[in-house]
Chain A
Amino acid sequence: MSRARRGWRTVARAGAAGVLLSALGAGLFAAGRLERAADDRPGPRGLTATFRPDPNAVEFPLDYDNYAYSDRFTFARIRFEPPHYRRGPFYWGLDLKWNHDYPWGEQNFTRILGEYTSLTLNEGGGNIHSLNEAALFKLPFAYLCEVGYWEPSDQEAENLRAWLLKGGFLVVDDFVLDHLENFLFQMERVLPGYDAVKLDVSHPVFDSFFHIETLDFHHVGRPDLVPVYYGFFEDNDPAKRLMVVANYNHDIGDYWEWSGNDYWPVDLTNEAFKLGVNYVIYGMIH
């Protein structure tokens, strides 16, 4: 299936859902406001969440080895079940969406991370966890891609909320064009009332290890797209801790994945690595 076609279908689905959602969302929103007013909580600060594995989750069985918990930094990739699970042309003959750039992406990235920083880490790649796994809470740095296809269940959204509010740092990558709508919609379920804030290069995340002077480098395969970096902040306050950074119209994972080949320009690949290293260092300090 071509990217364009996939995009169309999403738009159609989003359009159909839009009517429903605008009515439902308005109702939910009003209800939420009333509830907040009733218990006098200061908006997003009053969020609660409890981790529970979703009893209805159906997870496609996969065979991979995760690193055991130790004293080392481990890269975690969040898996999810795409709606209308379908076969595709990618790895293992399946297009699972969340696994794009796996495993070379994290293998190359962790190698760079180990090379440049003083981190003690598992350099051979990363772990894969769903939002229903308690083990994810031992890994406060996670990577989530193709969020255009991400539809967590209510419990999964709550689990991610708990993970984020407790101190997790999430990098969202590899989503373009109308994927944003789904991402923002799902994030509203994860962090109700929180805004996606556009980040500029002055944010500390772009100066946590490498001093990134410009964010002006383009999507790996779509030079026409303008990347935007969205952030979600603790207490919805941009002065506070950045919890989620989302590379919209971008795919740094793809740069990482193919850094061993000559698919993409070295300069741009370097920028992608620099972003990744900065994200990890920022996430481990803030």
Chain B
Amino acid sequence: MFLSAFEWLLGSPPVAFERGQIELLVPWGVFWIVAAAAGALVFALLGYRRLGRRLGKRGRLLLGAARFAAIALVLLCLFRPQLVLSLVVPQENVVGVLLDDSRSMQIADGEDGRPRSEALLAAFPDEAAAGRGEAALGDLLREKFVTRLFRFADDTRRIQGASELGFTGARTDLLGSLTRVADELASLPVAGIVLVSDGADTVAGGREDDLDQTLLDLRTRGIRVYPVAVGRPEFEADLELGAPDVPARVLRGSLLEIRLPLRATGLAGRTARVEALDEGRIIATENVRFPSDAAETTSTLLAPAEDAGTRRLRFRVAPFPGEVLTRNNEQSVLLEVDDRPLRLLYFEGQPRWELKFLRRAVAGDPELHVSCLIRTAEGKFYRVDVADAQELAGGFPDTREELFAYDGVILGSVEASFFSQGQLNMLRDFVSQRGGGLLTLGGTSAFGEGGYRDTPLAEVLPLTLPEAATSPAGAGDGAVPAAFRELRVLPTRAGSLHPVARLDPDPLANEDLYRSLPPLSGVNRLGRPKPGATVLLEGLGPSEEPEAVLLIQRFGRGRSASLTVQDLWVWQMDASVPLEDETHEVLSRRLLRWLASEAPRRLEVSASPAKSLVGERVTLRARVEDERFLAVNDAFVEAEVTGPDGVISGVPLRWTGQGDGEYSGVYVPGGPGTHRVEIRAGGGGLREGAEAPRAATLFEAGVVDDEFFDAEADPELLARIAEATGGRLFEPDEAEALLVDLSLAESGTTVVERRELWNVPAVFLLLFGLLAADWGVRHARGLP
């Protein structure tokens, strides 16, 4: 409405004034124009001087201004103002038309439940349907331009008509497609590119730098992009499950922590029941309530990983009534459930109940193997649960090969001076370089009391050690050490959510469970948790401040945890704890599994993308280390990829040259399904005769369903593309406006057109208005 009124008044649409230039067609110089204007002003003021007294100062000014404006307008018309435009020559210019062929175009969020593709097909009907009804964009373009049609999704291809579209593309690569089309049309006079899409890009997502660079490139080439937006930017009601955050590998029998992002639109106050399924069996559920109409939240599911092997976990939420898109209510992820036991070393400087009860707690866990070494007297050691007669026969390990064979180390009550400097450094490297887990327990000779304050291990601990705490913990009053205190242990907020300390999914029930347990005790003076540490359990003792009881943190490649109490075993043995109670067992196992489960192996492998298209390049990466966990760059590394049909293909992996021990190779899946990648490494720096390390991972081909996630139309992205390239965003029903915009191109083959402006209706109306105002005022005041 506004636009057509504008065009009627001024003879051209606004975009013409934006792009064109206004020129005055007069032979005189600026001096004469200024002189004429000054003359008009003098004439206007003189004309009212005589009437000054009767008009008053304000009236005089008003009438003077109106007269001056009228004279100036007439003068301006005499100077013949013109709008100079550069217009494309019909049929001499090319318009690239990019049509979105991705699956998201199937989403039926249009009026009456029409899919997005319908709007596209209406704009670009087949030849047979042309000429019927309202002029379609495609027809209008063809009348004036040479059009080149392309379909795009994950790739870009030239097409003859929209009938070739199937809307089955698994991805939308907006930027890549624009660049490819711009390249293809580089040698032609291009008026612009029309991009018909929902804007739901699934490739560039978040790559701001790439976006800016591509748009700058298009602008430099002078190619304007005119996006035509289809689809709705927001669904009325929709629930979307994001990509589940699950480790690629998990130990059998572990409690698997799954973080599942949920995005809910228009579902305020509603509750979704999130289900996790393993081969059709529900293994975990959680109810999530959405507080607002645009809620983003994360559901944390804890599910047991019971069966070893490759598992496909599915997550689902039953569709809500009125949900347009239900395909995004499901997610799936592949998971390798490992049954190789974790190996841990528990070293105690003296016989302690903690060791006995921890041994008993893990005895029933086939995935945890804890070898124990106890110093029963000075220079005398007791080994238990060792794999063979050689293990730990020489006491605490003093070579990297021996220590780094473990995934985790537990240090009990043993003073730092027991270890050599080399062993202390090695323990630190065990965590930071090898990526193992270190658990330090409270006790008479632990932490500051054990003299760890100025050792390399102080760096690894998740808490600081106070200066004063260097005297032995035993130096107290009689039989009880000075720092001995009972602590009522409760989970922190972080602890209630952490798979180690979350014994009950309900935070309140979890806290009650801890409240029902007897107090524990500490004998060490401790500092503060380090900035990077997370406190999972805290204890309320005689001091006002709660103190950290269980803390965890990352250190380098590995993990560090401190259990600052000296008697977790009380939660098993105490008279108030029922015999059947499993708290001590569950907590101990979870803690040890968490500690060691992420310890990297000597050979690690990954495939990306984990969900690929058939025919897409999948990069296989491996990291190879020797027995001392030092990177090896000259090994022979080969991947065996077993496809869903059982066919095995060998892929050699080569050192990337970019990082020590990093190898990569490329595999292109030929068909859909789960592919298993097994990697073997040998030769080079890997010791001859030692067992060649092996590793495996999985990826899935042909199941990409990105198009149904984050699938709302994204006109903002389209508008950004338009703005950055000098084009404009249109709706499908603005075909004619788009055509005008395209016609005013600066690139391509153009011709200059001059449009007179003195004869446009706006000038006449303005002049008439000014004179009418002048006459009206004079008539009202009774003036001549």
Contacts and interface: CB of A to CB of B under 8 A. Distances in A.
Interface of A: 48-51, 67-73, 116-120, 122, 134, 136-138, 140, 162, 165-168, 208-209, 241, 280-281, 283-286
A285 B570 contact: no
B375, B474, B573 pick with most chain A CB within 10 angstroms: B573
Contact of B382 (A51, A162, A165, A208): A208
A165 B578 CA distance: 11
A55 to B, nearest CB: 16
Given A120-B474, A284-B356, A285-B351, A67 B444 contact: no
A210 to B, nearest CB: 10
Contacts of A69: 521
A54 to B, nearest CB: 13
B357 interface: yes
8 contacts: A70-B480, A71-B473, A118-B350, A118-B378, A140-B353, A166-B573, A208-B382, A209-B382
Interface in B570-620: 570, 572-580
Contacts of A284: 351-353, 355-356
Contacts of B352: 284
B384 interface: yes
A71 B484 contact: yes
Interface in B413-449: 413, 443-444
B479 A72 contact: yes
Contacts of A140: 353, 356, 569, 573
B292 interface: no
Contacts of A67: 479
Contacts of B577: 166
B479 A117 contact: no
Which secondary structure dominates where chain A touches chain B?
loop
B569 A167 contact: yes
Interface in B124-140: none
Given A68-B479, A118-B350, A285 B574 contact: no
A137 B372 contact: no
B312 to A, nearest CB: 35
A117 B379 CA distance: 10
A279 to B, nearest CB: 12
A122 B484 CA distance: 15
Interface string B223-238: 0000000000000000
A48 B356 contact: no
B579 A281 contact: no
A116 B375 CA distance: 12
B575 A51 contact: yes
**Interface pairs A-B: 5 shortest CB-CB:** A134-B575, A284-B351, A137-B575, A118-B350, A51-B575
A69 B360 CA distance: 22
A70 B374 CA distance: 21
Interface in B460-488: 473-474, 479-481, 484
Contacts of B380: 209
Contact of A285 (B355, B473, B572, B576): B355
Given A138-B570, A166-B572, A168-B573, A71 B481 contact: yes
A209 B376 contact: yes
B377 interface: yes
B349 A118 contact: yes
A283 B378 CA distance: 19
Given A119-B350, A284-B351, 18 more contacts: A48-B580, A50-B579, A68-B479, A68-B480, A69-B521, A70-B481, A71-B444, A71-B474, A71-B484, A72-B479, A117-B350, A117-B376, A166-B577, A166-B579, A167-B569, A281-B382, A285-B351, A286-B356
A118, A134, A284 pick with most chain B CB within 10 angstroms: A118
B351 A167 contact: no
A73 B356 CA distance: 13
B284 to A, nearest CB: 29
Contacts of B356: 140, 167, 283-286
B359, B375, B479, B574 pick with most chain A CB within 10 angstroms: B479
B329 interface: no
Contact of A162 (B350, B413, B579): B579
Nearest to A234: B360
Contacts of B444: 71, 120
A209 B377 contact: yes
A285 B573 contact: no
Nearest to B483: A71
Contacts of A281: 351, 376, 382
Nearest to B486: A69
Contacts of A167: 356-357, 360, 569, 572-573
Contacts of B484: 70-71
Interface in B310-367: 349-353, 355-357, 359-360
A117 B523 contact: no
Contacts of A50: 578-579
A282 to B, nearest CB: 9
B479 A70 contact: yes
A238 to B, nearest CB: 16
Given A70-B480, A70-B484, A167-B360, A118 B375 contact: yes
A274 B574 CA distance: 29
B566 interface: yes
Contact of A119 (B351, B384, B479): B351
A185 to B, nearest CB: 23
A241 B521 contact: no
A3 B171 CA distance: 94
A71, A137, A166, A283 pick with most chain B CB within 10 angstroms: A71
B377 A120 contact: no
A48 B580 CA distance: 8
A281 B569 CA distance: 17
Interface in B532-569: 566-567, 569
B475 to A, nearest CB: 12
Contacts of B413: 120
A71 B523 CA distance: 7
B521 A71 contact: yes
A46 B503 CA distance: 24
B382 A71 contact: no
A245 to B, nearest CB: 15
A167 B574 CA distance: 10
Contacts of B521: 69-71
A120 B481 CA distance: 11
A158 to B, nearest CB: 10
Contact of B573 (A116, A120, A138, A208): A138
Contacts of A283: 356
B573 A117 contact: no
Contacts of A49: 579
A50 B575 CA distance: 8
Contacts of B481: 70-71
B359 A285 contact: yes
A51 to B, nearest CB: 4
B414 to A, nearest CB: 9
Contacts of B384: 285-286
Nearest to B352: A284
Given A209-B382, A285-B355, A285-B359, A137 B350 contact: no
A68 B477 CA distance: 12
A142 to B, nearest CB: 12
A233 B291 CA distance: 56
B23 to A, nearest CB: 96
